[in-house]
Structure 1
């Protein structure tokens, strides 16, 4: 197979492009320390050969991997975990307690994904989900610490994007692996002003108040770097956090303003796209609108669906 795309960061952290949908969209991270290693997120089953090739390129033996840590169990983050675990004889999967049952028995995850995508597209995107044996799963509680050869990590339960989401604080290096809670930041949007970031409000568990609280909680650790699944390392956390919170408030305003529209999906999507284009131009992005739509189109659709699901829950409450 082709050589994996790796991006080496400080403190023994390497981003591996999982090639989900296209390059530069989703990263798994390898943490290497004192001869031991851990993965944070895995991509899909199709990503596993790239992850194993990354270990080889980094000179890490498969039996030196102690943990496969999943920020949450959405399939672009966790779909490959079972298959990867089969190749890592000493690894344990570290999962939020709400997500662990779905990785031990992925029947509901598979059925729900097939209902959204159809079987053919589901197979194309995610392949075959392999269950993780229950005796190889470790569930976390909020504030729990875990050691990788003496390197301490703290697990924060960070809802808002998903109820089964935790983020991982690398305490000695003031870094946080944020999954999707701290949004999406594609490197194509980097300018002289730094990284550009957007929230992810995908269905079905988006909650704006919880998401803002989770962002503030992570910010309280004064992180020097954040490692996002989409896509890898960003700094300048206070600025990015303020942008995320501003957009979340704007999303809520947009969604509520179209609550009763005949075609609320189209209206919410159009307003969100207009907001992103405005923010990107202010940020100094010179990409044409068509390229921006290519990069953010899937997120625009998923965010719109998530806002509608949230609106419907709000109406029922």
Structure 2
């Protein structure tokens, strides 16, 4: 297959930022971001190994030598964000991998990440979804502590510890665009749902570290920067940040309430899934989102399954 045939869908934003659809599972589900600042280049997120050829094809198509990529920056070590990091780093000889201190060791030795994913999905499914999950040499890894700064071109990126979705999560502040690369910390928002009422934004409570109080504090910190936009991994750039932050806070509180109400319910997991789907459908109806209920259910099925699992883990931790 020629490099041109692997070119992914992209959207160019201002400030040298490109959203790269890595085509995980379906278009519009997950992206990486290509940052170009002067002679320096970085990828925020690594996606899965299946997407690595697309990222490399994009570099070639834009005339960017692989040696110019200075950083690969997964926001956290969930495999849809970091599973392809080792494979991508093999192809970028000058790059450093920048990771949260709690997550760096799992990218150096991904055996626990692999075992955990296999326990949930099974070995065959993990291979299908993520492909090769390769280690990254420790000498090529930077563990970015809270408030750490790294140069990129004539500017710098700042890393903000961002618990709530996961304890191994940071957000990346880009002062040039006045935006954060938020991973999963600013929720999920698929562009198929955009309509007259604006974006549909909802929390992601993927197992196993949903912490609603910590998440609220993280949102306070992010808003203290007065960001003009958020670059979501799932999916793309959103603006009107203060209003969307309120939407996300409300969603987190509804999730907390739903989980509490169903804590002792029989068939709890199935009831959590049903309640979360119903919550999403109500929100979509209020926004007059341009999708049918059947289409919405299909697009949200995987997320709501994972969200229900995460809320179940959170409930078990409170017991």
The bucket for the TM-score relative to the shorter chain is over 0.9
Superposition pairs for residues 1-317 of structure 1, below 5 Å? 1-315=5-319
| Residues in 2 aligned to 1:245 and 1:189: alpha-carbon distance in whole angstroms | 19
- How many Å apart are 1:102 and its aligned residue? 0.5
Q: Would you say how many aligned residue pairs link Structure 1 and Structure 2?
A: 315
Partner SS state of residue 196, structure 1:
coil
- For normalisation by structure 1, the TM-score amounts to 0.97
Deviation at 1:193, TM superposition (A): 2.8
Between 208-217 and 222-231, the greater mean CA deviation after superposition: 208-217
Please report the TM-score for the alignment, with normalisation by the length of structure 2: 0.97
| Residue aligned with 1:55, SS | helix
CA distance in 2, matches of 1:97, 1:161: 16
d(CA) in 1 for partners of 2:80, 2:161: 19
CA distance in 2, matches of 1:59, 1:179: 27
Deviation at 1:269, TM superposition (A): 1.5
Q: Give the 3-state SS of the residue equivalent to 1:98 in structure 2.
A: helix
Give the drift of 1:268.
1.6
Query: Structure 1 stretches (4+) deviating beyond 6 angstroms?
Result: none
SS in 2 for 1:172: coil
Q: How far off is 1:58 after superposition?
A: 2.4
Distance 1:139 1:220 in 2: 24
Structure 1, unaligned runs of 5 or more: none
- The alpha carbon displacement at 1:150 in A equals 2.0
